[in-house]
Structure 1
C-alpha cells in the first residue's frame, strides 16, 4: 500500500470521514485540520510577488532636480509602501520619474497601491517644496513582474539610474521595458 503525505495533517474527525467516504457511507469530502467547511478559517496564505513600478512626472517636467528632495521623496515612497504591506526593496529615479521595486502584500491591488502612492507623494512634494506647487505625476504607470532570481540585477539597475539616463530618456527606457515584457503601447496615450 502506498502512503501519501500531505503538507496539512488531517484531523482525527476528517480521517474518520475519509474512511467512511471510502467505504461508501458518507458523501462529505475530508477536511484538512484548521480548515472550516462552513466558515472563513482557511489557514495560512503565502505570497512572494515582486513588482517593478515606474511612473514619471506629468509631461516629464524635471521637478525632482534637487537631490535632497528626490532622496526624501524616495524615503517617503518606501515608508508609504511599508504601511501598505508592500515593502519597497529599493526606490530610485532621476529628475522626471521614479522606479520602485516592492514585494506585494497578499491582498494588494497594484492599481490602488500606485494611485495611493502618487496621491500621497504629490501632496507631500507640494508641501515640502513650495516651488513645486504645480507638481503632478503622469496618469499612467508601468508595472512589471520580477522573478526573485532577478532581484539583485534590478536593484543594481535602479540604484544606478543617474548613469543610465546620461544617454537614455525616460521614454526610451519605458519603450525598452515594454518590448522586453511584450507589452504593446499606443504612443498617443502612454505619454501625458
Structure 2
C-alpha cells in the first residue's frame, strides 16, 4: 500500500490448552524461532518473544496488511501443527482458544521488551491468571469472567 505509514506495536498473550505446562525448556527456543518465522513471513517485525511452560508472549510491530485475528490464527494453528509434527508432547498439543492483545506506543517498547524478557523472574511471584487479568485491567479491557482462562471440558 503506497503512502501508508503506521506505527503499531502489539503484545499478544495466549495459553496452552487448559494452561497445561507443556512448553519444554529443551525445545522452547526452537518454538520461539518458528513463531518468529511465522510473524516475519507476513512482514511483521518481531520485537520480543518469551513465555512460560503454560503460556507465551509475543511483541511485534504489525503491518496493516493483515488483521490481528488472522495473524493469531496462523501463529497458533501453524505452531500447534509444528509441535505435533515434531512429537514434542505426548498426545495432541493445542493452544487455548482466544488471546489477549495489547497495543503500545513507541515510548513503551523498551519496557514491554524487558517485561517479556523477564517472564521467568516475574512469574516467581505472580501466576499467569493474575498476570493476564492485570494486563486486561491495565488496558481498560472489559471481559467476561466466564470466559477467562477456563478449563475446557
**TM bucket, shorter chain:** over 0.9
Match of 2:19 in 1: 60
Q: Whole-Å Cα distance in 2 between the matches of residues 188 and 95 of structure 1?
A: 24
Provide the aligned length of Structure 1 versus Structure 2.
150
Q: Whole-Å Cα distance in 1 between the matches of residues 125 and 22 of structure 2?
A: 19
Deviation at 1:133, TM superposition (A): 3.2
Q: Which runs of 5+ in 2 are unaligned?
A: none
Larger relative contact order, structure 1 or 2 (CA cutoff 8 Å, min sep 6): 2
Root mean square deviation of aligned Cα: 1.3
Q: Whole-Å Cα distance in 1 between the matches of residues 7 and 64 of structure 2?
A: 8
* Equivalent of residue 146 in structure 1, options 104, 107, 111: 104
* Equivalent of residue 9 in structure 2, options 38, 50, 53: 50
DSSP 3-state at the match of 1:119:
helix
Q: Structure 1 or 2: larger strand share?
A: 2
Q: Whole-Å Cα distance in 1 between the matches of residues 142 and 4 of structure 2?
A: 33
Question: TM-score scaled by structure 2?
Answer: 0.93
Deviation at 1:68, TM superposition (A): 2.5
Structure number with bigger Rg: 1
Q: Whole-Å Cα distance in 2 between the matches of residues 144 and 130 of structure 1?
A: 30
- The 4+ residue runs of structure 1 with deviation greater than 4 A are none
